[in-house]
Structure 1
């Protein structure tokens, strides 16, 4: 089960990290527009469309990645005081009653928006020759599907916690543990090397 959960985490992580490059492109576009508009007095016709497409893509496609990292905002001042089983029970209830219907709605409605956009060959109306936005709208149901997939993994974690009384590991927990182990091995290697050198030096002095 953990292997399957880690696989879903890896999919969300790969997608999130791939789309995180949008923030670098967005920074470049905004800086270019500011300099072009206020220094050279020549505003671009494409910066606005590019900005909201990049930001929207980043926002939608990194949602599952953030969920896999357990990074979404919650009332931690209450949540952290509960026992793991209580946390898991509340989480599972909210996933079933709120999260899953929202993700299914996003998939269903997003598919309709994307389909109509492709049929219309829809372009942005903010500029005279705006870019096509049907690829952007296609990301809506894709983001919903990724969220639903990661949500299923989170519900499985809730059920495991309800059964065992402890939260199962997440992918980033495993990654962090591996880093700690590597650091410990490096420290031990340095200590062994120092001890060996010290022993050789002491033997030479005798």
Structure 2
């Protein structure tokens, strides 16, 4: 196995673990939301920190889970041609798309959001509500985590596409044996 293959597998395993872990927040979020509604409308009790925790969990699910979603090809893709294309063409599209669009977009997000996050850390920004979660700076940091995880997954895509174009098969961590869901052999 080449170093590039090992890199791709390590990134894929990391995003797979992160995605599966973060997915549990969906269940926790539903339970907290249920508790908030019951406490508010049946018992007349409200907890701002509980309501804010729902926003935090929602943000974590989408932002931290984005690399996992990219790994499992869960993002929306206009695949009029891609779906029926050969594995080689798919590799070229993935390579070009990641290098020309995805990585620069994530770099732009990181570059533009860094001052925003840094300012939040500088003052340890908290909730505007007294009894809210005093960790808005941590929530804003998730923007940079999002960019980092998606760039890592994009680099894994680039590595896999390059190896596929070179005729090397890299095992997948998502269940298929060649990294494709097309059911075709790469040769």
Question: Is TM more than 0.5 here?
Answer: yes
Match of 2:131 in 1: 129
Q: Which residue of 2 aligns with 1:173?
A: 175
**Quick one: distance in 1 between partners of 2:53 and 2:23?**
15
Cα displacement (A) at 1:161 = 2.3
5+ residue gaps in structure 1? 176-206
Say which is worse superposed, 52-61 or 36-45, in terms of deviation: 36-45
Shift of the alpha carbon at 1:174?
A: 5.9
Q: Which runs of 5+ in 2 are unaligned?
A: 178-187
| Deviations 1:58-96 (CA, angstroms, capped at 9, x unpaired) | 111111112222322212343111112222222222212
> Which residue of the partner structure matches residue 152 of structure 1?
155
Q: C-alpha root-mean-square deviation of aligned residues, in Å?
A: 2.1
1:83 aligns with 2:86: yes
| Count of equivalent residues | 173
The 5 A counterparts of 1:46-195 are: 46-125=49-128, 127-132=129-134, 133-164=136-167, 168-173=170-175
Structure 1 position 128, deviation (Å): 3.8
Bigger relative CO (Cα 8 Å, ≥ 6 apart): 2
Instruction: String of CA shifts for 1:18-45, please: whole Å, max 9, x gaps.
Output: 2222212211210011111222233332
Q: CA deviation at 1:152?
A: 0.4
Shift of 1:3: 2.5
- Paired residues for 1:17-32 under 5 Å: 17-32=20-35
Q: What residue is the counterpart of 2:182 in the other structure?
A: none
Counterparts of 2:98 and 2:32, CA distance in 1:
37
Asked whether the 8 Å contact 1:69–1:170 carries over to 2, the reply is no
Is the radius of gyration larger for structure 1 or structure 2? 1
Q: With structure 1 as the length reference, what TM-score do the two structures score?
A: 0.75
CA distance in structure 1 between the partners assigned to 2:175 and 2:25 by the alignment: 26
Cα separation, 2, equivalents of 1:167 and 1:67: 19
Using the size of structure 2 for normalisation, the TM-score is: 0.82
